[in-house]
Amino acid sequence: MNFLIDNVRVLTMNAAMDRLDDGCVVVEGDSIAAVGDRGLRERYPGYERIDGEAGILIPGLVNAHTHVGMIPFRSLGDDCADRLRRLLFPLEAAMTAELAAASAAYACCEMIQAGVTTFVDMYYFEDAIAEAVKAAGMRAFLGETVVDFPSCDSRVPHGGLAYAEAFIPKWLGDELITPMVAPHGTNTNSPEKIVEAHLMAGRYGVPMTMHVSEMDYELEHIRERRGMTPIAFLDSLRVLDERFIAAHCILVDDDDIDILARRGVAVAHCIGANAKSAKGVAPVKRMLERGVRVALGTDGPASGNTLDMFTQLDLFAKFHKTANKDRSAFPAAEVVRLATIDAAAALGLGDRIGSIEAGKKADLTLVETRSANMFPVYDPYSVLVYSAKAANVDSVFVGGRPLMRGKRLIGEGLGEARSRLSAGMADFRRAAESLLATISGRGRG
């Protein structure tokens, strides 16, 4: 399908950061054919015209770290100390392939409604999740979790390796889905299995993702056993390279940052989830100054309670201005870069997505400026970072295919996804409420 969007403010996010206040973007098939001002329209007379209504058109947002199978955990014991080990890990025994897929389908609806077009996932049953994501039409890197204890999709420790060995070749070459292997963390995998995952990723030429330097007890664990930081430890295993996506990297020192830069590792920074769990604020300014590639992520719906990248833009600006004691640090345009072109580059997709330029895939998000919170617009970057919410997203396209138009999802609606998820959650919900009652020592959490 060929179409054009005009009467729109286009933030191209190209190298020159060109901005067209009365722009026009032409889409042919799955790609952007032309970008220009309003006059461009006349050169494409037969194309369907979408009126941007003075909204803001940006490259689809990239969510660089999440766990789409975890919608059933959201709002459960949020303020509970050591929540991961006391609540989340035990409850994951109640996860099934069907529930993970239903959660993923729901999460895709939520992300599309929030203007996300590409995401990086780490969870169990990733093959079932891939089917759901494919049906939703989103672009994704999907990583099968490897962990050193039996999990919901493996009776043996590190069973994710065998799962990935079947999962990766099945999806290799798919236009939208990139299969991956995802060792859970430096303290939840043996060194041998981390190396094995790395070799597998290399064999198939796919990325690999892992939680890195997120938890204080993770740092202690590696320091006690290896006498170094998690990042130095991973580097000693020779697994860090440009295909490595390291989630979090909160507790890092300057040597760690130099390693990340030297190896070309992509950092998926999840400010919302990190702040909610009081883990600290990753030194992103120093990372960028030293040349580390940084993208932003929401973390899973159990951790950050949202899959919405607009929330992250706002939180990122506020936390990093405060951490650097400088209101001019990270001006809004730079924050938008981190969720679009910089994220695409970090994930190795910089030649395909992340900016609105002829030849790139037509992954586009149209944000309306009709709503109360979106007026006035002196600076559209400012409006996106400090004012816009997921609810302002009007239309979303992935590879030229419309996934939402006029705030209505195309394809399976949210209602259907929610009915399916809610019905599939009955056993999980009972297990959750019972465990929470035990932990909190009272009837209700």
Burial track 259-291 (b if 16+ CB lie within 10 A, e otherwise): bbbebbbbbbbbbbbbebbebebbbbeebbeee
Rounded to the nearest angstrom, the gap between the alpha carbon of residue 417 and the centroid of all alpha carbons in its chain is 20
The nearer residue to a second copy, 210 or 313, going by C-beta atoms, is 313
Q: Which of 7, 31, 96, 324 binds a second copy (CB under 8 A)?
A: 324
Residue with tokens 């020192």: 253
* Of 189, 194, 186, nearest in space to 151 by CA: 189
The nearer residue to a second copy, 79 or 224, going by C-beta atoms, is 79
The nearer residue to a second copy, 259 or 384, going by C-beta atoms, is 384
Asked if 345 contacts 354 with a C-beta cutoff of 8 angstroms, the reply is yes
Could you give the 3-state DSSP secondary structure of residue 28?
A: strand
The nearer residue to a second copy, 19 or 38, going by C-beta atoms, is 19
Q: Which of 236, 419, 422, 438 binds a second copy (CB under 8 A)?
A: 422
The residue range among 102-110, 143-151, 158-166, 219-227 that interacts with a second copy, by the rule CB under 8 A, is 102-110
For position 239 contacting a second copy by CB under 8 A, the verdict is no
DSSP state of 353: S
CA pair distance 188, 181, nearest whole angstrom: 15
For position 285 contacting a second copy by CB under 8 A, the verdict is no
Provide, rounded to whole angstroms, the least separation between the CB of residue 266 and a second copy: 24
Residues linked to residue 409 through DSSP beta bridges, in sequence order: 404
The nearer residue to a second copy, 83 or 243, going by C-beta atoms, is 83
Cα distances from 19 to residues 194, 355, 374, 381, 394, in angstroms, run 44, 11, 18, 10, 20
Residues linked to residue 386 through DSSP beta bridges, in sequence order: none
For position 16 contacting a second copy by CB under 8 A, the verdict is no
The size of the interface with a second copy (CB under 8 A), counted in residues, is 69
Touching a second copy, residues 78-97 (CB under 8 A): 78-81, 83
Touching a second copy, residues 104-163 (CB under 8 A): 106, 109-110, 113
Binding-site string for a second copy from residue 381 to residue 410, where x marks contact by CB under 8 A and - marks none: -xx--xx-xxx-------------------
Q: Which of 44, 141, 244, 319 binds a second copy (CB under 8 A)?
A: 319
CA pair distance 40, 24, nearest whole angstrom: 6
CA pair distance 306, 107, nearest whole angstrom: 9
Provide, rounded to whole angstroms, the least separation between the CB of residue 427 and a second copy: 14
Provide, rounded to whole angstroms, the least separation between the CB of residue 163 and a second copy: 27
Cα distances from 330 to residues 5, 61, 403, in angstroms, run 30, 18, 31
CA pair distance 445, 438, nearest whole angstrom: 10
Residue with tokens 């990093």: 320
CA pair distance 165, 100, nearest whole angstrom: 20
Q: Which of 151, 186, 188, 306 binds a second copy (CB under 8 A)?
A: 306
Provide, rounded to whole angstroms, the least separation between the CB of residue 417 and a second copy: 8
Q: Which of 2, 190, 236, 322 binds a second copy (CB under 8 A)?
A: 322
Asked if 297 contacts 65 with a C-beta cutoff of 8 angstroms, the reply is yes
For position 438 contacting a second copy by CB under 8 A, the verdict is no
Provide, rounded to whole angstroms, the least separation between the CB of residue 193 and a second copy: 29
Residues 6+ apart with CB under 8 A from 422: none
Provide, rounded to whole angstroms, the least separation between the CB of residue 149 and a second copy: 23
Contact positions vs a second copy (CB under 8 A):
71-72, 74-81, 83, 106, 109-110, 113, 272, 275-281, 304-306, 308, 311, 314-315, 317-319, 321-322, 324-332, 371-373, 375-379, 382-383, 386-387, 389-391, 414, 418, 421-422, 425, 429, 432-433, 436, 445
